[in-house]
Structure formats: C-alpha cells, structure tokens
Structure 1
Amino acid sequence: MNSDIPRSRLADVALRQRAEATGLALQHSIDALLGQLARAGARDQKGLQAVLKLSQSAVSRLMTSTRSSDPLATLFAIPGQEALRQMLKGAAQHGATSDAIARVDEAISGFERFIDVDMGDRATLEAVLSDWAQESRATFELRHKTAAFKSVSALRGVQAQLVLNTGILYPSATNPTYHDCIGIDALLGCRRTRPSGVLRVCSSSMAADGAHFTASGIGGQAVHNMADMLLPQYSTISTDEIEVASHGHIVETAVSGLPLGRADGHGGDLVFAMLYRNLHRARRGSGGPTSGLGGQAEPPSEAYIVDALLHEDVWPGVVPEVRLYDTVVRGIAHPDDPARVGDRLDMLESVQFLGRGPAAFRMPEFPQYSELIRHVCETQGWDAERLRGYRCKVRYPIYGSQIGLAFTLPV
C-alpha cells in the first residue's frame, strides 16, 4: 500500500471499483435477458411493458441502463429493486431461460447488497454517482432542486414562476473609468401556495454615504423603497398592495394579496428598475480583478435568470463565468473575496451568448422583455441595438443561493 495516498482516497477507489463491478453485472445480465425476450417477440418498449408488467418509466430506465457503456451510468439509470424483481417474474413467464434468469437474479442480489452495505440507501448512491458519472449529474441535480423547490414553496407559502435579474451596462458619459448600469429586477407569476402566504423581498439601502456611484429611479427620481422603483406598465401588482418597512439599512417589501393557487392562470408580476451612475469599473486599475452582477434566489421559483446586456465598448471580448454561492452563513459574496471560495456551489449551470439587440434577448416566460429593454434604454438615450447579451438560466434554483455572472476586467 502506498503510504503517500490518504486512506480515505484508497477507500473511495475501492468503493468505486465495487460500484463498477455491480453495474457491469447488471448491464451484461439484463442485456442478455432482454435479447432473449426480443427474440421471443418483445422487441420494443410497448412489447416489454406488456411482457414484464412494468410502467413505461421503468421500462425506459431499464433500456437506458443497458445501453450505456459506463457501468456507473447503468447504476444511476437502473430502476428500483421492486421493478427489477417484477422484471424477473415477467421474463420467466415469457421464454427467458433459467440460466439467464439466474444470472440476473444474482446481479440484482449484488445490487441490493451494495446499496444496503456500502451506500445505506438509494438516495446516497445517486448522490455519489452524480460525481462519478457525469451524464447522471444533470438529472440528479434537477431532481433534487425540484424537490427542494416544492418543499420550500410549501413552507414559505409563496412561489414565483420566474425571478429575473438584468444588468444593462453602458459607458459612463461623465467618467471613462466607470460604466453606468440599469438594473432590472422582476418577480413574475407570483402566487400563494397557502392562504397565509406573504411574499417578502429584502434589499439593502441603495447607496451608502461616500459611495463612488449614485442610485436613482430610471427617471432620475429619488428612491426610498422598492415601490419607488416599480414599473407599473409591466407589473400587475400595484403600489397599493405593497407594504414597505425599513430595518436599519435593510428594506423589506411585503405583498400579502397574491393569487392563491393557479385559478387565475399566470399570477402576479412585479418589475422594478434602477439607474446606477458610475457603478462598474471599466478596467482593473487598483481594484480586484473581477466585476459582475447577479442576485439571490428568492422567493422560491421555478426558474432564475441573470442577464448581462453590455454595450459593445463595455469589457469587449470578455466572456462571463457563472458563479453560485451558498449565502446561508456569510450572506452575499463578492467574486474577488478569497474567503468565499469555499462557499462556491459546484453545479452544472452555464452561460449562453444571446446575440445582439433586444430581438435576440427574447424570453418566452416574459413576452414583453424585449420591449422593456428598449424602453429603459430610451429613458437614458442609450442605443439598445448596440448591446450584446449573456444569460444564465437556472431551473429550480436553490432557495437563497447567490447566482451571478462574473467578468474578468481588462487591464
């Protein structure tokens, strides 16, 4: 044994080898069994459903698991032990040989022992496989994020179809070392899941004393709370339904009259916009290497979108990186803070280049989005056609996590 290798690492390698052997046994034995059933007439999914007395989902997973070249992917895709035992009963009644049945039975027993002895349960197995088998990662993450969304929505009593955070960056007309920004925040399709549910959104004060930037409404008006930022032409919830409370530098916005359930169809919409002068550094200078935009995933939502829409002279040639952070203990993170590296969430989220101009920024969940981009740009005399766009869309974001796009600043 190599004493330079940590014991935990050796144990991980041994566990993976047992997992691969278990998946390989299932893969080969079930593939041979299905081959016999195919020769007996059960050649497609419907035929196997009828012969094996299994659901469409179970048969689909069964066929997927045997087609994979990776035994770890086989373990992830294989249906549960109950479905596998039912498969044996159906196969035995429709022409499978006793030898093929015995081989599958032995492989299933090995699978059950591996789960019970090595893993403890199927959920733990899937969590381990999400790191080992890359093709299982997206399915694993989406399944658990969906479950978390349903749970938090039920407990909080509210949910949204989409939370949107957009930053439109344009060169500053007064200071070439900075870029101006219009920030758009939207909560779309908001509803209560319980009669007592109240939508609460918290934000920090707009600009601290001595800050290098200024903040106002897009019309130049002073902003004291989120109601002052509301764009009524894009919102279905009026200021009369919004209650605002200040707690130090934190402003809390509450909406209690949201639709209950889905009886009204879409739900309530809130769309806000702010203008920040000289907010983002144009170049690295004496500051940190990174700038960006984003926000926190709240309330519980089916999707979260971060859009960065940049003028052609803003950070030309720079492509953003998706950054996700756990904010539970230490709150909002700055991408340059080395102390927050350990709070990064390792998730399969990506950034997409949208193209140029509002027509390229279309959003099915928000049909008025391109019109909104043109409108807010016109208030400042900005040419929206000169914008290039980047988007990160997260399905069922982890509630309270920070989602953002980080840009490495040019030197």
Structure 2
Amino acid sequence: VAKALASADAFAALIRDHFGTRGALHAAISGDSAALRKRHEETARYNIYNGMRHLMGVEGETWLTSMIFRPTPDGRAMTTMTVHGILGMRRLRPDTPVRFSFGPPHREPGVDGDPMAGAIDLSDFYLNEAAPLESEVRDGRVIHQLASTRVGKDAILDMLAVSRDDRGIPRYASPNRHLAGVAIFTDVPVRTLIGDLILHESLVPPTLPELMVYNPGARGPANPNDPSRQTDRVEVPEGIEPIQGTPTRCEAPGIPNYGAMLRRVFEDLGDRPGAYRVFRTEVVYPVQGFQYVIAFSVPDDPTSSPA
C-alpha cells in the first residue's frame, strides 16, 4: 500500500510540475493518438455543452442542416433548398428567452414577398410536439423565439424549417472564390450536429468536400475563400463522409423520418433524387459559437478565355 501511495504521489507531482493540471496532461498526450484525441475532445465539448445548456436554459438532441444544391436551367449558377432545425428541444428554465435563426429568408428574384412564409410543412414527420414559435425579421434574418415556457422531462419539442433560394450563386470559380458550401452555427446547445451537403451529380467535385471549422470570435462569420481567416481555423477529428444511395433512402442518426422528409422536399423541387449525392459531417457536442462549413470546390468557367 505504501508503494502504491508513493507512486500515486509521484505521478501527482509529475503532473503538477510539468503540466499543471490533469486536464493539461490529457491535452498534451492526446495529440499522439487519434482515439485519445477524439475522446479528450468529446469530453471537453460535453463540458461546454453542459455549461451552455444551463446558462441558456435550453438543450436539444439534434441540430440538422441539410442543403441541396442544383444547377440553374442555363447552367451558370446554383440554387439551394435547405432543411434546418432542432429535434428533441427542451426548455430547462422558464425565465430565459430562447432565440435562434436559420439564416437569410427566402425571396424570389425581384420579388419582396413574405420572408417568413414557409414553403413546405414537415411537422407530420416529427416525433415530438411542434415547437410554438414567435418569428420576426431583423436585419434580413428571420429570428424565431420559443413561445412555450413549459419545462420538464416531457416538454420536448421539434422544429424544422425549409428555405428556398432561387436567386442563384455562381457555379464557377472567380479569382477570389474557388469554394462554395454550407455554413452552420448551432444557436442552441445540442448533443449532435448532422450537416448534409446534397449536390446534383453535375456539381460533384473531383475531390471530397472538406469540413472547415472556425472560431470566428469578434471578426464574425468566416468566408472559406478568405485566406486571412485561416488563423481562425480549429482542427477537429471529424471530417466528411460520402453517404451511399440516394438522399431519400439515406438515414440520419436520431432522425428516423429523414428520408421521407427529403422525399417531400424533392417532390416540391420537381427533381429526381437519384441524380444527387450526399456528403455528411456528424459532430458530437458541437461547440457553441463555432462555425462549421462543408465546403466543396467549384470549377473554372469552361467558356472563359485563358489569361
């Protein structure tokens, strides 16, 4: 027993003298092993999630962002359709406002329209009660506020929105732009982030899309085409996985009706899901305030003259 205690004291002294804390020791040695690093990061992220859910008074099981890119009829641009939201959301405190945003509202080209009008209702696919929301537009963004103040283990809510942007983004590269993709911020602390990039087969690049994670801080959302934002990049063990099969047949953890949801979206688009490919990132305990980007390369314009 004395030898064991002496060994424990010696190990404690080693940690104190060389690393300061046990957490610092774990961080130092995790770089030598992918498995250790992943476990250390997930533990650290859980601690952040646990703190933020109590501070914000809300938690969720899954944050979903699924963005479909397809070419315009003239082949010069790409339009997008996005399914995004929170599943298994639960208020923990009745006294804190719960707000979240899913990006710019949809507007048809040249038409103002109603930026809060939803095109597709997915509530019949929910496993839980639909979240009652109060919504408004601020600075061109639709801001949702959770209207319910119910708390408790059974006060679990789902909320998914579908936005469509037919204005189009350039399909081809320019001198300062060689990447396109989807950027995700989790406004609510969640256990899992599912991010799907769904590309029409004519848009699939020769290289695998890349997961780029930023800690944007006061500089605001990062553009992956801006080399000055490389200093804000965060190395993470996750990456991008190609999903086999058509979008309407693929599964997503914690979203049992995912394929059926996408089938309805493709019916609204009037497009064939078999012509699309899915690229996914799955992040356990995504960090509040981090920006997760699924970026893919865009080709040079085949009609432009070489410099």
Q: Do both share a fold (TM > 0.5)?
A: yes
- Of 135, 146, 154 in structure 2, the residue corresponding to residue 263 of structure 1 is 154
Cα 1:215/1:332, change in 2 over 3 Å:
farther
Structure 2, unaligned runs of 5 or more: 301-307
Query: 1:158 touches 1:191 (CA, 8 Å); kept in 2?
Result: yes
Asked whether the 8 Å contact 1:230–1:271 carries over to 2, the reply is no
SS in 2 for 1:324: strand
* SS of corresponding position for 1:228: coil
CA distance 1:400–1:105, change in 2 (3 Å) = same
Kept after mapping to 1: 8 A contact 2:65/2:196: yes
Q: Mark the CA change 1:191 to 1:198 in structure 2 (over 3 Å): closer, same or farther.
A: farther
- Answer 1 or 2: which has greater helix percent: 1
Quote the residue 2:75 is aligned against.
176
Per the alignment, residue 237 of structure 1 pairs with 130
User: Structure 1 regions of 5+ residues with no counterpart?
Assistant: 1-88, 90-100
Q: Alignment identity in percent? A: 22
Deviation at 1:286, TM superposition (A): 4.5
User: Please, which moves more after superposition, 105-114 or 339-348?
Assistant: 105-114
Query: Residues 198 and 277 of structure 2 are in contact (CA less than 8 Å); yes or no, is this contact kept in structure 1?
Result: yes
> 1:353–1:390: 8 Å Cα contact kept in structure 2?
yes
Name the counterpart of 1:146.
46
Letter in 1 for 2:23: A
Instruction: Name the CA distance, whole Å, in 1 between partners of 2:114 and 2:290.
Output: 26
1:228: Cα distance to partner?
3.3
Find the partner of 1:317 among 201, 206, 213. 206
- Identify which of 223, 228, 231 aligns with 2:118: 228
Give, in whole Å, the separation in 2 of the partners of 1:110 and 1:171.
Answer: 64
Amino acid in the other structure paired with 2:288? Y
Give the match for residue 239 of structure 2: 350
Who wins on radius of gyration, i.e. which is larger?
1
Aligned to 1:367, the other structure's residue is in SS state coil
1:94 corresponding residue in structure 2: none
- Contact 2:90 / 2:157 at 8 angstroms: preserved in 1? yes
**Residue by residue, what CA displacement relative to the aligned partner does 1:153-193 show, whole Å, maximum 9, x if unpaired?**
011001111111111112212x3111221111121111111
Matched, 1:384 2:284: no
Question: How well do the aligned residues superpose, as a CA RMSD in angstroms?
Answer: 2.5
* Among 256, 261, 266, the residue aligned to 1:367: 256
Separation (CA, whole Å) in 2 of partners of 1:371 and 1:258: 31
- In 2: Cα distance, 1:259 partner to 1:248 partner: 30
Cα deviations by residue, 1:384-406 (Å, 9 ceiling, x for unpaired): 12211110000100012111211
The yes-or-no answer on 1:115 pairing with 2:15 is yes
- Number of aligned positions between the proteins: 297
SS at match of 1:356: coil
Alignment of 1:81-230 (within 5 A): 89=1, 102=3, 107-173=7-73, 175-206=74-105, 214=109, 222-225=113-116, 228=118
In 2, Cα distance between equivalents of 1:274 and 1:127: 40
Q: Deviation of residue 250 (structure 1)?
A: 4.0
The separation in 2 between residues aligned to 1:234 and 1:222, in whole angstroms, is 27
Q: For the Cα contact (< 8 Å) 1:192–1:198, is it kept in 2?
A: no
Query: Are 1:203 and 1:251, in contact at CA under 8 Å, matched by a contact in 2?
Result: yes
